[in-house]
Structures are given as structure tokens and as C-alpha cells.
Structure 1
Amino acid sequence: MSTRRKDSVREVGRGMAGACLIAVIWELSARGFDLPAYVLPSISTILAGLISDARALLDASAFTAFEAIAGYGIGCVIGLSLAVLVTVLPIVRGMVVPVATAINSVPVVAYSPLVLLWFGMGVSSKVVMVAVAVSFTIFLSTVAGLDRVDRRSVDLVRSFGGGPLAILWRLRLPTALPLIIAGMRVSTVRSVLVAIVTEMLGAYGGLGWVIYQAVLQIDFVKVWAAIIVASTISLLFFGVISFVERRFVFWR
């Protein structure tokens, strides 16, 4: 087994051990202090709720996962394309970067009522919201990465007749790749979060809708069960991008 794979196994083992420790402390605290379910239900109670509502939670999680992944993919394409555009055409940077920074400075959830009004209560509005949130994160991280290239290397490529596209492909993108992947990794959690919050504001399904309905029914065990399922989706999504990072950004 290679050193890199051993490190990955150790990292997963430490994460699982930490999760088990938190679960044990949670269970003992909830039972030891006899906390009511609306304050903090025990882990065993939540697991029982997960089993009893497994079908509904699985359907809801598939709904949310599709919204998050679809919006994530669209957001990545938009963010990368805009970053490359402002890098290749510096004249555009002065117009795009201030606007993107201003829009990104407002919590993305603030745009939810408008997006729901424009695109309706279905899947489209959630995908759009996730795409908006992800695209700005990817755009800013990619621009920062593309600007990190060594000017001396750029001059060297130009001396050999390399144009802007050659510089972009051979120098800027390899230099920016660690920051691009870091932005993609952060965006995984953000995509699931934005999808769920938008579902809570208006939807026909998904984990956010389940959480909202459970709160109205004062079923806090179901709320926690949906939260755990959402956390699992985020961790799996995060793990996939982390694997891609270790596989393709090996020099980091």
C-alpha cells in the first residue's frame, strides 16, 4: 500500500473514530440529562426514526442530491468560463469582477424569493440557486489561481512565440488548479446547503421540504434524521471532490 493511500486510510479512520466519539457523548448526554426530543433527541431515537422513515428520506435525499449536483455542475462551468474570460480579456475584468464581488457579498439565500418567483417551486429554482452560489465561489477562486502565475514564466513562453491561449493552457491553468479544486471542494457543502434552504422556502419535495414539514408537525426526531441524511450527502460529495483532488493535483 502506497504512503498516500495509507494516509487516506488513516484520515478516514480518524474521521470515523471522531464521529463515533461524538455519537457516544451525544447519546449519554441526551439520556443522562433526560433531555426532551425538542431539545436534543438521543442518537438511538434518531436512528430509529431514520429506519421508520427510510423510504421518505431516501426519496427526499435523491431529490435534493439531484438539485445540488445539477446546480453544482452548471455553477462550475459558469464560474470557470467567466474566470478564463476575464483572464484572456483583461478589459472585461474591470466590469465583471466588481459586479461578481458585489453580488457575492449578499447572502445567496436573499435571492431565493426572486428565484422562486421567476422559476417556480419545482426543481429549476433550486438548480438555479445552487448554480448561482457555486459559480461565484468557483469564479473568485479560479481568478485568484490564474493570477498566481510567475511573470517570468509567462515572458519565457511569449519569447517562444506562445500566445494568450498557450499561456493559459500551459501555465495559468496548471498553476490555478489547486485553488480551483479547493473552490470546488468548498462548493460541495455549499451546494447542498443552498438546495435545502431554498426547498424550505418553497418546494414540492426534498430534504428541506421534509425538515419544514417536520417542524410544522413538531416532529423534531424527523428533523434530526433529515439533517443527518443531508450531512451524509455533503460528506460523500466532499469526499468525491477530495478524491479527485488527490488524484489529479498530486503535486500539491
Structure 2
Amino acid sequence: MAVFVALGAFLMTLAGGWTAQRVTDRRHLVLGLAGGLMLGVVGLDLLPEALEAAGREIHGVPAAFLLFVAGFLLAHLVERLLAGRRAAHGGAEHDHHRAPEVGLTAAAAMVGHSAMDGVAIGASFQVGGGMGTAVALAVIAHDFADGFNTFTLASLYGNARRKAYAMLFADAVAPVAGAAAASFVHIPTSVLGGYLGLFGGVLLYLAAAEILPEAHHAHPARSTLLCTVAGVLFIWLVVGAMA
């Protein structure tokens, strides 16, 4: 049953990616919405879950927060290293030294997050049908944002469209694989919480340092800001439905 329900997440992820690639003539609005969705996912979904799951503190600070900061710094370090290497090899100035590897790495992190969504579906169905249905509906709605962000991240950094499609398909398959794996593999709660904290830091860096500035660079319009707010509100509604 969990795998069957996860197929809905598969379709919703593809729908999110399809929407992202269809509105290229309004790229600033797409990026503004993606930034809002990512901000909402981090602040309203990932961090609360990470804090609850990771539990313990390290030198007076919750482990999830330490990994969140580490994820932010890691994303910054990796991007600077890759961008510097690309510039040293004659990267074009108009690319702002963006390294395609950063986009693929971020999209791969989204795939990992989607796999964890699938694990959540599988685990919730082990608790009971009502719990499984509630979690599944929330994940399905959430995976529209995941598909949207995965395609946007991969394509924003200059990757070929086929690579963006490949990452989108992997993100769509991930919840199904996660739901199936949940029947055989148990992931320690503390490990899952640490992963969510680290991933949240990476995602926040990309939203705040890359996607939102790019959205307002050429089109500093009020509509772009409204799309960002709408993205945050959408995630709030989804998270509220899970509660």
C-alpha cells in the first residue's frame, strides 16, 4: 500500500518539474517561487523535524542546528571551490562563475530528501492506515515543490536540459524507492535528524545566496516578491495539514 501511495508522489514530482520548465518566459517568477518554497521547506519542515529527531545537544547546542550551520558552510565552500576552479580554466564571466556541479549536487540532495519522504510514508503505514494516509497526502503535496526545485536547481547552474530531466526523474522515483526500502531497512532516528539538519543548511544557502538574488537581479518586481511569499505560505499549509 505504501509503494502504491508513493506513486502519487512520483506523479506530483514530475508535475512540479514540468511546471518549472514550462514557464521559462517568466524565469524571475519561477526563481522567486522556488526560493520561497525552499525557505518554507527549511524553516517550517526540515528544521523542526531535524530538532525532534536528532534530540541530543553538543556543547550546549542542538546537534541538528550544528549540522544545519555545517551544511550552510559546506555549500558555500563547495560552490567557491568549484567556481574558482572553473574561473581558473577560463569560465565565462557572464556565468558569474557558476559551477554546474553545484546545481547537480543540490539536485542530488533533493533526491535524497525525497527518498526520506518515501521512508516516512512506509514507516507511517506500519503505524496504521490513518497515519499513513495523512503523511502520504502531505508528502504528495510537498513533492510538487520538490520537483519544481529539483529542475530549477539543476538548470539554474547551466546544466544541459537532459541532466535536469534526469535529476527530476530520479527525484520522482526516490519516494517510491524510499517507501519500498522502509519495509526492509530501519534508519536510526538520530541519523535521519542529522541528515535533515545538514540538508536544511545546504538548501538555505542556495535559496538565500543564489536563487533569490538571481530572481531579483534582472527583474526586481513586486510580483517576484509575492511569488516568494506564496511559496512560503504553500509549505506552511502543507506542514499544517501534516500536524
Q: Report the TM-score range of the alignment, normalised by the length of the smaller protein.
A: 0.3 to 0.5
Q: Which structure's relative contact order is higher, taking Cα pairs within 8 Å and 6+ residues apart? A: 2
TM-score by length of 2: 0.34
TM-score by length of 1: 0.33
Instruction: Answer with 1 or 2: which has the greater Rg.
Output: 1
